[in-house]
Chains A and B, each alone.
Chain A
Amino acid sequence: FLGAGGGNDIQWCFSQVKGAVDDDVAEADIISTVEFNHSGELLATGDKGGRVVIFQQEQENKSQSHSRGEYNVYSTFQSHEPEFDYLKSLEIEEKINKIRWLPQKNAAQFLLSTNDKTIKLWKISERDKRPEGYNLKEEDGRYRDPTTVTTLRVPVFRPMDLMVEASPRRIFANAHTYHINSISINSDYETYLSADDLRINLWHLEITDRSFNIVDIKPANMEELTEVITAAEFHPNSCNTFVYSSSKGTIRLCDMRASALCDRHSKLFEEPEDPSNRSFFSEIISSISDVKFSHSGRYMMTRDYLSVKIWDLNMENRPVETYQVHEYLRSKLCSLYENDCIFDKFECCWNGSDRQLLTFFLPPLCSIVMTGSYNNFFRMFDRNTKRDITLEASRENNKPRTVLKPRKVCASGKRKKDEISVDSLDFNKKILHTAWHPKENIIAVATTNNLYIFQDKMN
Chain B
Amino acid sequence: MLGKGGKRKFDEHEDGLEGKVVSPTDGPSKVSYTLQRQTIFNISLMKLYNHRPLTEPSLQKTVLINNMLRRIQEELKQEGSLRPMFMTASQPADPLSDNFREAQPAFSHLASQPLLPTDFVSTTPLESCLTPASLLEDDTFCTSPTVQHDGPTKPPPPALQPVKDSFSSALDEIEELCPAPTSAEAVAAETAADDSKDHPSESSVQKPEGLPESRTAESKLMDSLPGNFEITTSTGFLTDLTLDDILFADIDTSMYDFDPCTSATGAASKMAPVSADELLKTLAPYSSQPVTPNQPFKMDLTELDHIMEVLVGS
> Using a CB-CB cutoff of 8 Å, which residues 311-359 of chain A contact chain B?
330-332, 334-335, 337-341, 343
Please name all residues of chain B whose beta carbon is closer than 8 Å to the beta carbon of A343 when the two chains form the complex: 58, 60-61, 64
A91 touches B54 (CB 8 A): yes
- In angstroms, how far is the closest chain B Cβ from the Cβ of A222? 7
B60 touches A247 (CB 8 A): yes
> Using a CB-CB cutoff of 8 Å, which residues 227-283 of chain A contact chain B?
227-228, 230, 247, 276-280, 283
> Which of the residues A197, A279, A338 comes within 8 Å of B21, measured between beta carbons?
A279
The answer to whether A227 and B63 touch (CB under 8 A), given A335-B18, A337-B43, is yes
> Which of the residues A90, A279, A337, A428 comes within 8 Å of B54, measured between beta carbons?
A90
- In angstroms, how far is the closest chain B Cβ from the Cβ of A301? 20
B56 touches A334 (CB 8 A): no
B64 touches A335 (CB 8 A): no
> Which of the residues B20, B55, B63, B72 comes within 8 Å of A247, measured between beta carbons?
B63
B55 touches A93 (CB 8 A): yes
B5 touches A424 (CB 8 A): yes
Of the stretches B34-42, B121-129, B160-168, B265-273, the one at the interface is B34-42
> Which of the residues A91, A92, A280, A339 comes within 8 Å of B1, measured between beta carbons?
A339
The answer to whether A427 and B21 touch (CB under 8 A), given A178-B59, A179-B59, is no
B39 closest partner in A (C-beta): A334
The answer to whether A428 and B1 touch (CB under 8 A), given A223-B175, A284-B68, is yes
A179 touches B58 (CB 8 A): yes
- In angstroms, how far is the closest chain B Cβ from the Cβ of A196? 9
A226 touches B1 (CB 8 A): no
Please name all residues of chain B whose beta carbon is closer than 8 Å to the beta carbon of A375 when the two chains form the complex: 4
A335 touches B14 (CB 8 A): yes
> What CA separation (Å) do A198 and B1 show in the bound complex?
30
Please name all residues of chain A whose beta carbon is closer than 8 Å to the beta carbon of B89 when the two chains form the complex: none
- In angstroms, how far is the closest chain B Cβ from the Cβ of A250? 14
A179 touches B56 (CB 8 A): yes
B24 closest partner in A (C-beta): A278
The answer to whether A280 and B10 touch (CB under 8 A), given A228-B60, A247-B63, A424-B5, is no
A428 touches B2 (CB 8 A): yes
Cβ of B246 < 8 Å from any Cβ of A? no
Please name all residues of chain B whose beta carbon is closer than 8 Å to the beta carbon of A230 when the two chains form the complex: 60
> Which of the residues B37, B55, B68 comes within 8 Å of A283, measured between beta carbons?
B68
> What CA separation (Å) do A125 and B36 show in the bound complex?
57
Please name all residues of chain B whose beta carbon is closer than 8 Å to the beta carbon of A92 when the two chains form the complex: 55
> What CA separation (Å) do A379 and B175 show in the bound complex?
40
A335 touches B21 (CB 8 A): no
> Which of the residues B14, B56, B63 comes within 8 Å of A226, measured between beta carbons?
B63
> What CA separation (Å) do A426 and B3 show in the bound complex?
5
Please name all residues of chain B whose beta carbon is closer than 8 Å to the beta carbon of A427 when the two chains form the complex: 1-2
Most buried by A among B4, B9, B19: B4
B59 closest partner in A (C-beta): A197
Please name all residues of chain B whose beta carbon is closer than 8 Å to the beta carbon of A226 when the two chains form the complex: 63, 66-67, 70
B60 touches A334 (CB 8 A): no
The answer to whether A88 and B21 touch (CB under 8 A), given A287-B64, A338-B43, A424-B4, is no
- In angstroms, how far is the closest chain B Cβ from the Cβ of A229? 9
- In angstroms, how far is the closest chain B Cβ from the Cβ of A326? 14
Cβ of A132 < 8 Å from any Cβ of B? no
> What CA separation (Å) do A179 and B56 show in the bound complex?
9
> What CA separation (Å) do A375 and B2 show in the bound complex?
11
> Which of the residues B23, B64, B175 comes within 8 Å of A284, measured between beta carbons?
B64
- In angstroms, how far is the closest chain A Cβ from the Cβ of B148? 17
> Which of the residues A225, A278, A332, A341 comes within 8 Å of B63, measured between beta carbons?
A225
A76-110 interface bits toward B, Cβ cutoff 8 Å, 1 = contact, 0 = none: 00000000010010111100000000000000000
A228 touches B63 (CB 8 A): yes
> Which of the residues A85, A198, A334 comes within 8 Å of B40, measured between beta carbons?
A334
> What CA separation (Å) do A332 and B10 show in the bound complex?
12
Please name all residues of chain B whose beta carbon is closer than 8 Å to the beta carbon of A287 when the two chains form the complex: 60, 64
Please name all residues of chain A whose beta carbon is closer than 8 Å to the beta carbon of B14 when the two chains form the complex: 334-335
Cβ of B8 < 8 Å from any Cβ of A? yes
> Using a CB-CB cutoff of 8 Å, which residues 238-257 of chain B contact chain A?
none
Please name all residues of chain B whose beta carbon is closer than 8 Å to the beta carbon of A85 when the two chains form the complex: 56
A interface, CB within 8 angstroms of B? 85, 88, 90-93, 116, 178-179, 197-198, 222-223, 225-228, 230, 247, 276-280, 283-284, 287, 330-332, 334-335, 337-341, 343, 375, 423-428
Instruction: Give 23 CB contacts A-B under 8 Å.
Output: A90-B54, A91-B54, A93-B55, A179-B59, A197-B59, A197-B60, A223-B172, A227-B63, A247-B60, A279-B22, A280-B68, A284-B68, A330-B21, A334-B14, A334-B18, A335-B8, A335-B10, A335-B14, A337-B43, A338-B10, A339-B2, A424-B4, A427-B1
Sorted from nearest, which 5 A-B pairs have the closest CB atoms? Answer: A223-B175, A426-B4, A427-B2, A424-B5, A197-B59
